């Protein structure tokens, strides 16, 4: 109920104002019944865990809880910055995320442009609908078929790659530290290229056809139209999504890496979110794991601010 009082305008504490507020509240009682449960839910399931971050500065134990566990200040962070596994996980996170951004970000833009240039409308529709499908399939399934398709003896894709001479007969792609990161990037692109193209297709669809007609009159061919009409028109969308993606540079997909890692590739799969999970929930070092998580959130936020700032300076487009 405190929230409601806070929402009242300051300086309206006179008797009539208060009763007016009460009247308005009473008139909205049914709307409040609809709205407040979710507000309470937000407080319990989001704001309590946000408060729980405090344990990164404590030595958490379940009996004393978030508030009363012994305070240790920056001790967890001091340990963190000399922990070689943590430093590895920082490097791996940036490496994987950067490669995902490098290949995974332009791919859907390219797909959207290619679909837009397609003359056969039926084919366009079919390819478009098919390309969304992998987005709805779980990573469990994706990693499952990767093991099957890449099995060195029986896998269809391994067979193709061996036939092309790209890999040797016994090369075990899913258990090879050298190919791990490539597979992470390729499977990520496979899964998300279609879904991520939707937003660019929508941006392209909203381009005024007159711009293309004018370009045609000026004698522009297909490539020049793509370069001078399509790309400038979708630039704001591209920039905003790029900012959001840079903010996600430290979030290297937990599900995917957790499922893809095995005894041979666990060093490559050790990224911040996995390290936080393993420290906190596997080893039960709740405070230490939370410190890793907090580090990750802070860096993500700073990266997003940085990307937003430089984009505003360079292109005049920004998220906020």
Partner 1 sequence: MNAVHRTTGEKLFDAANVVLLVLLAFVTLYPFYNILITSLNDPADAARGGITFWPRVLSFENYKMVLQDESLINAFVVTVLRTIAGTATAVLFTAAFSYGVSKPELLGRKLFLILAIITMYFSGGLIPQYLLIAQYLHLKGSFLAYILPNLFSVFNALIMITFFRGIPKEMEESAKVDGAHELTIFWRLVLPVSKPVLATIALYNAVFHWNSWFDAMLYGGESLRTLQQILMQIISSNSNVSLMASNLGMKAVTAESVKLATMVITTLPIVFSYPFLQKYFVKGIMIGSVKG
Contact call for residues 198 and 174 (beta carbons, < 8 A): no
CB of 96 to partner 1, least distance (A): 18
**Position 174 contacts partner 1 (CB under 8 A):** yes
Within 73-112, which residues bind partner 1 (CB under 8 A)? 111
Within 54-73, which residues bind partner 1 (CB under 8 A)? 55, 60, 62, 65-66
**Position 293 contacts partner 1 (CB under 8 A):** yes
* Choices 10-18, 73-81, 87-95, 136-144; region in contact with partner 1 by CB under 8 A: 136-144
Within 227-246, which residues bind partner 1 (CB under 8 A)? none
**Position 122 contacts partner 1 (CB under 8 A):** no
**Position 117 contacts partner 1 (CB under 8 A):** yes
CB of 91 to partner 1, least distance (A): 21
Within 21-50, which residues bind partner 1 (CB under 8 A)? 21, 24-25, 28, 30-35, 37-39, 41-50
CB of 313 to partner 1, least distance (A): 22
CB of 3 to partner 1, least distance (A): 6
CB of 230 to partner 1, least distance (A): 12
Backbone angles phi, psi at 259, to 5 degrees: -80, -30
CB of 314 to partner 1, least distance (A): 22
CB of 307 to partner 1, least distance (A): 14
**Position 166 contacts partner 1 (CB under 8 A):** no
* Choices 82-90, 97-105, 276-284, 306-314; region in contact with partner 1 by CB under 8 A: 276-284
Cα 144 to chain centroid, rounded: 22
Q: Which of 230, 251, 276, 308 binds partner 1 (CB under 8 A)?
A: 276
**Position 10 contacts partner 1 (CB under 8 A):** no
- Residue 109 makes CB contacts below 8 A (sequence gap 6+) with 197, 200, 234, 238
**Position 164 contacts partner 1 (CB under 8 A):** no
Q: Is the CB of 193 or the CB of 246 nearer to partner 1?
A: 193
Q: Is the CB of 95 or the CB of 225 nearer to partner 1?
A: 225
- Residue 268 makes CB contacts below 8 A (sequence gap 6+) with 92, 177, 180, 181, 261
Number of chain residues interacting with partner 1 (CB under 8 A): 106
**Position 175 contacts partner 1 (CB under 8 A):** yes
CB of 286 to partner 1, least distance (A): 6
Cα atoms in the Cβ-side hemisphere of radius 13 Å centred on 230: 21
Within 202-221, which residues bind partner 1 (CB under 8 A)? 202, 212, 216, 221
């Amino acid at each position: 109920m405190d929230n409601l009082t806070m929402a009242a305008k300051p300086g309206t504490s006179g008797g009539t104002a208060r009763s007016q507020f009460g009247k308005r509240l009473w008139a909205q009682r049914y709307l409040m019944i609809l709205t407040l449960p979710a507000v309470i839910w937000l407080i319990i399931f989001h704001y309590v865990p946000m408060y729980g971050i405090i344990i990164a500065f404590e030595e958490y134990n379940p009996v004393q809880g978030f508030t009363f566990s012994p305070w240790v200040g920056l001790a967890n962070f001091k340990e963190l910055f000399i922990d070689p596994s943590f430093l590895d996980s920082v490097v791996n996170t940036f490496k994987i995320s950067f490669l995902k951004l490098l290949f995974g970000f332009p791919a859907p833009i390219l797909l959207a442009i290619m679909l837009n240039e397609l003359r056969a409308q039926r084919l366009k529709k079919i390819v478009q609908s098919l390309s969304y499908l992998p987005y709805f399939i779980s990573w469990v399934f994706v990693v499952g078929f990767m093991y099957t398709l890449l099995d060195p003896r029986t896998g269809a894709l391994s067979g193709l790659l061996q036939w092309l001479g790209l890999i040797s007969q016994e090369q075990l792609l899913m258990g090879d530290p050298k190919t791990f990161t490539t597979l992470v990037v390729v499977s990520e692109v496979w899964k998300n290229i279609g879904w991520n193209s939707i937003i660019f297709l929508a941006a392209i669809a909203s381009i005024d056809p007159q711009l293309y007609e004018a370009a045609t009159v000026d004698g522009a061919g297909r490539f020049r139209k793509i370069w001078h009409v399509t790309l400038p028109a979708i630039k704001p969308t591209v920039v905003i999504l790029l900012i959001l993606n840079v903010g996600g540079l430290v979030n290297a997909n937990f599900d995917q890496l957790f499922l893809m890692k095995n005894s041979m590739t666990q060093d490559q799969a050790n990224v911040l979110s996995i390290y936080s999970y393993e420290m906190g929930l596997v080893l039960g070092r709740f405070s230490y794991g939370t410190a890793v998580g907090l580090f990750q959130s802070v860096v993500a936020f700073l990266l997003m601010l940085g990307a937003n700032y430089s984009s505003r300076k360079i292109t005049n487009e920004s998220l906020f």
